[in-house]
Chain A
């Protein structure tokens, strides 16, 4: 009766793809934002952090408006013959959007910790912004960027509300673990819900343990060898 493991694979695939997107966008945006100041950029920060503070259902509803049949992006996709709503990509979009603020925030903090003179020195040595980013910012901000990635992954894995709004619950296509749990409970299948919950707790715990031991190893090596 418990042969269908598809929610695990869907959850993992969604979280991995969403995290990859979030990581690239979040880190790039954070680097771009780091060198700017002004109230316009503060407003930008506010918008970037909205998915963190809004109820996921609101995020999902806004996404539905955007990607729906009559939404601006929905019509665009329709023109190339694609429907985003109630498809697997919708789970990725929902998960990426809600996890973006976590990546953005941690990346901002990690990048801000890189000494400004190091970036400036790299520029006077002829480095392009891309080279500064790749050779200086990423290696020096790596611990923070990795922590942000893990947090984003955890958030994507637990995403429920926005996913349900945009992607619905289609077993085998858009049904992630959190959705499977909800609908199992709704159908009165407590055994199923418990099993899914245990699997979810196991994945999340191993992630957090991984993060904990990794940061501990980091700070230990820092204490031993100084900053680096």
Chain B
């Protein structure tokens, strides 16, 4: 394992307490703002000092409160991409990139600067000042500067948040290329679920200073360990639940019994389903055969360009002030097919789509 982190730091609003280890794969640190994501990066980079714990990079101890070791930032060989990029405004792109290379021979400095310029597609911009660059170019220049010192770990703090939405996907692609070419441990902090999923291999979910999930991203998205993680990874629907038998639970908020695939070892307390996994049955006949099919009425809808979100009431027709039981998301093509069908509609909460949260 390349980077091992186990730190604790008391902060005004909460205590940051995280432990993880990561190798050459990109670890995405996901969580809402103000839960300690950036603080974790700053501790690793040596810009903040944890109260206790240990940080080691390729078996090199960077911080150890027990042994009173706290290697200064400048000796850590940890590259940090700041959220604001923090390019030196008075230096050109080339000077920015070469800034960390002052201790090597001038010829090598030039070569390595050129390497980074071409690796990050900054050719022709060498003599520009940061203010003369677009947001995406600034990000690449800052990445080039961080990578030029051949850091053993690369930390990225919300690398895409400063960019306009329409630029993001292209820049995210380039960032993904850069990250996959990078050999060291890479850590990426984001509050954007999709960004975390696309850019990271492993996922560390933080809430209020604590790691609430850590592991391969597919695993966490498929089986979120807690309601909070499920919520953070985009799950919209939850109901309190209790066991009835080994493969059946009672979902009290949804006022129904649900068949489940997993054998429930521990008592269930909550059940959840993602909005896009709620299935609308288009014909009555297919509903007869399946489990977990319920009647529903739409209360309201909200549209994005390609999808529609339906807020649903289960079992009975809604009255004036009813709150929706479920939030479902479907492609508009599919919605076109059933939207004119007579109410109530039939939804299926497929057993394999249900996520059960034990105590």
Show the binding face of A for B, using Cβ within 8 Å: 115, 117-118, 120-128, 131, 135-136, 139-140, 225-228
Contacts and interface: CB of A to CB of B under 8 A. Distances in A.
Of A120, A121, A131, A136, most buried by chain B (CB within 10 Å of CB) is: A121
B131 A225 contact: yes
Interface string B308-336: 00000000000000000000000000000
A140 B130 CA distance: 14
Interface in B74-111: 74-80, 82, 84, 86, 88-90, 99-100, 102-103
B86 A115 contact: yes
B72 interface: yes
A97 B88 CA distance: 34
Nearest to B129: A228
Given A121-B80, A226-B131, A228-B129, A126 B74 contact: yes
A227 B146 CA distance: 23
A128 B75 CA distance: 9
Contacts of B89: 118, 140, 227-228
Interface string B25-55: 0000000000000000000011100000000
A131 B73 contact: no
Contact of B90 (A120, A126, A128, A228): A228
Given A117-B86, A118-B88, A135-B88, 20 more contacts: A115-B84, A117-B82, A120-B73, A120-B80, A121-B82, A123-B46, A123-B72, A123-B73, A124-B46, A124-B73, A124-B78, A125-B145, A126-B102, A126-B103, A127-B99, A127-B100, A128-B74, A139-B90, A227-B89, A227-B131
B62 interface: no
Contacts of B129: 228
A225 B72 CA distance: 35
A128 B103 CA distance: 11
B74 A123 contact: yes
Nearest to A122: B99
B131 A228 contact: yes
A128 to B, nearest CB: 6
B149 interface: yes
Nearest to B48: A120
Contacts of A227: 89, 131
Of A118, A125, A131, most buried by chain B (CB within 10 Å of CB) is: A125
Nearest to A135: B99
Contacts of A136: 88
Contacts of B79: 124
A74 B45 CA distance: 48
Contacts of B74: 123-128
